[in-house]
Amino acid sequence: MIPGMQINQALAAKAAGNNVSSGGRKVASISSAGNGDVFSFALPAVLMESEQFLTAYFRASRVGLCILDTKFRYLAVNETLAEMNGAPVAGHLGKTIREVLGDFADLIQPPLERVLAGGEPVSDVEISFQLPARGEPGHWLEHYVPIKDAAGRVMQIGVIVVEITEKKKLEGSLRGAVEILQQEKKRQQVVMEVSRLLATPGEVRQFFPHISAYLRRILRQEYAALCLRDEKQGKLIQHALDFPLQKRPNAETEFNAADHPGSSVLQKYTALILNREQMQKFHSQLAECLLTEGLQSLCCVPLIRPSGALGIFVLGSTRGNAFKSDDLSLLNQIAAMLAIALENAGTAREVEQLKIQLGRERRYVEGEPRPRARFERIIGDSRALQKVLDQIEIVAETDATVLLLGETGTGKGLVASALHEASKRRGRPLITLNCAAIPTGLLESELFGHEKGAFTGAVSQKTGRMELADHGTLFLDEVGDIARDLQPKLLRVLQDHEFERLGGNRTIKVDLRLIAATNRDLSTSVANNEFRSDLFYRLNVFPIRLPALRERREDIPDLVQYFVRKFATRMERVIETIPTETIEALKQWDWPGNVRELENIIERSVILTEGTALRVPLEELSGGINLRESSLKEADRALIIQILRETDGILSGPNGAAARLGLKRSTLQSKMDKLGIRRRDYSDPASA
């Protein structure tokens, strides 16, 4: 640009004096003073010097020069301008600008006419046009300078042309680059906002409308949805939706995966852009609903994690072809962040569940069992057990005879002890005799005592259990096994509170309370004439039936906890957890041996446990115990799979699954083979 470029009167005078004629036209061939090159240029030496000055001044640009007469015919032109116009120098001279430039003359003629009319220069005229001889549009900055005679009349016009095509291209490229950078900045801002939002505590469903609003600044979508995959049911479940312009409520939130317009992205893991025609090919209620709402284009992006595709992130627009391939880079970033957030949320829920489970498992060991305040050794809180404890509280303060009924191992001895401790006789002894454990010939001596010489081997007087229980409590376990000929003597004690020692004749008075227990049906024994009815009625003053363990399964966790702590302390073992699967399996068994059987199994389990998690040898229990074998195997299988997942499939080593389960590696491998456990059962699907 050369603002205010002027050529003075002297320049015009010299131009007039140096013109030469050629065919009636004045032209000049002027030699450069510097190198002798000949220029086809109808200007005097002073203009030659001016051209050199301009060339030096615009050395970064291409500068063309020419002289026009008042009819706008070329009198002189330099090679640069000739090249710009796409014609040789000779093809310019004597011709009008329209003859050389065609329609381009319509753009430059108005300023030329202003120069002729006003006699003043016209500068900085920017022109863009595609000349016939050029394959692309050009851009020029032109200056028009009047050349006057001595009288001040405009005789010729000097034209200085600076081509700025490359500059315009650079400016266009720069503007494009700036626009791209600005757009990229907006995209990165959206990514940062979404990242910040997903980093805050909360559910993805809660944040989704805000995420959609961030994207709307760039993509201008009207619809956004987040659909999660339920692989077991083959469905996509709408987890979140942002559709402010929705005309009618959503009819369904669960879709068959195959019917969703974006179903293919779940298999191909590649984003998909659909137009209206492609959407119409999906004959599903969802596609019809979206089309009815006026959506013309969809963009479906998979939510990909190493475990597989979690679902689909869908954007929709009422504009056709609203989404471009350039948008996929941003949407893939957003989808990746959503997938991570959803996976983290799922992992957090699993961790929370594991914490709760671990807390339960620790509580089995560390927590306090829930005994009733007055019966600290009786563990459990089931309704069946509470009924028994209520009966104990009712009868304990009396001296009434109590008959404890129930299967073997239900804790009749423990209840007898609780009855004694809750009675007014608790400061006196509780004398226990298991009638089934003593031969019939010796049972009478054990009960009533004997005098010296009463029978062979009676070398001294012996005090019987009846006498020892004076002012206290006598507990006769398995009373149904007492021989029939001995039963009248027991009945006498219950009725008259007196007896004689074996071989003696002195009547001994006793004040005792009798608690009897049996696992037999005494009423049946009476009917079969195996047990005296009068003794049965005397014993059956206050019967208490103890429930079998299978009738109070909810007490099993507390009992397991109690026995684990008991035996672990005795054996100096550290057992921190009891797997929930083990507890559930134990609760499913029938337990014909009741609490005694459970206690024995837990003692054995503590012995076998090598790690900190209790290992119950469920597989060693025989079918004769009437266990539910299928539940047992499932529980054992589930436990092994859980430990394998926690150890990333590592079997051996101090932190391996075998050590965690308290097994040898070979034993664990054998169990896995028997239970049909394969790597796919405990590894990620992506690595299976």
Strand pairing class (254-256; 272-275): unpaired
pLDDT attached to residue 543 = 94
Question: Residues 59-118: pLDDT tens digits?
Answer: 434 689 999 999 999 999 998 899 888 889 999 999 999 999 988 899 999 999 999 999
Burial tier of 209 (Cβ tally within 10 Å: 0-12, 13-18, 19+)? middle
CATH for 383-547, among 3.40.718.10, 3.90.550.10, 3.40.50.300, 3.40.50.1820? Answer: 3.40.50.300
**For 234, phi and psi rounded to 5 degrees?**
65, 35
Segments of 283-401 assigned E as strands: 297-305, 308-317
586 contact partners, CB below 8 Å, separation of at least 6: 556, 560, 598, 616
CA distance 518 to 480: 6
- Output the average pLDDT for the chain: 82
pLDDT attached to residue 487 = 92
Give residue limits of the domains in the chain.
9-163, 178-347, 383-547, 553-682
CA distance 319 to 18: 69
pLDDT attached to residue 442 = 86
Structure tokens at 663: 């097994």
Question: Residues 495-536: pLDDT tens digits?
Answer: 999 999 988 889 999 999 999 999 988 988 898 888 999 999
CA distance 409 to 390: 20
CA distance 127 to 139: 6
Q: Please give, one letter per residue, the 3-state secondary structure of 85-101.
A: HCCCCCCCECCEHHHHH
CA distance 378 to 374: 9
pLDDT attached to residue 26 = 34
pLDDT attached to residue 365 = 57
Query: Is CATH 1.10.8.60 the right assignment for the domain spanning 553-682?
Result: yes
Identical fold for domains 9-163 and 178-347, yes or no, is yes
pLDDT attached to residue 55 = 45
Question: Do residues 227 and 260 make contact, with C-beta atoms less than 8 angstroms apart?
Answer: yes
pLDDT attached to residue 183 = 81
Strand pairing class (235-242; 29-31): unpaired
Any idea of the CA torsion for 118, 120, 126, 127, to the nearest 10 degrees?
A: 50
CATH of region 9-163: 3.30.450.20
Question: Do residues 432 and 450 make contact, with C-beta atoms less than 8 angstroms apart?
Answer: no
What stretches of 515-577 show up as alpha helix (H) in DSSP?
522-527, 533-539, 556-571
Question: Do residues 30 and 44 make contact, with C-beta atoms less than 8 angstroms apart?
Answer: yes
CA distance 263 to 267: 8
Strand-pair partners of 308 = 305
Give Cα 303 distance to the centre of its chain: 12
CA distance 179 to 236: 39
Q: Is 375 left (phi over 0), alpha (psi -120 to 50) or beta?
A: beta
Mean pLDDT by 10 residues, the chain (688 residues): 34 35 33 32 42 43 85 92 89 92 91 92 90 83 92 92 85 76 84 88 88 91 91 83 82 74 84 90 82 91 87 92 90 91 85 71 54 70 91 92 93 93 92 88 88 83 91 94 91 92 90 93 89 92 94 92 91 88 87 91 91 84 47 74 86 81 79 84 58
CATH of region 178-347: 3.30.450.40
pLDDT attached to residue 187 = 86
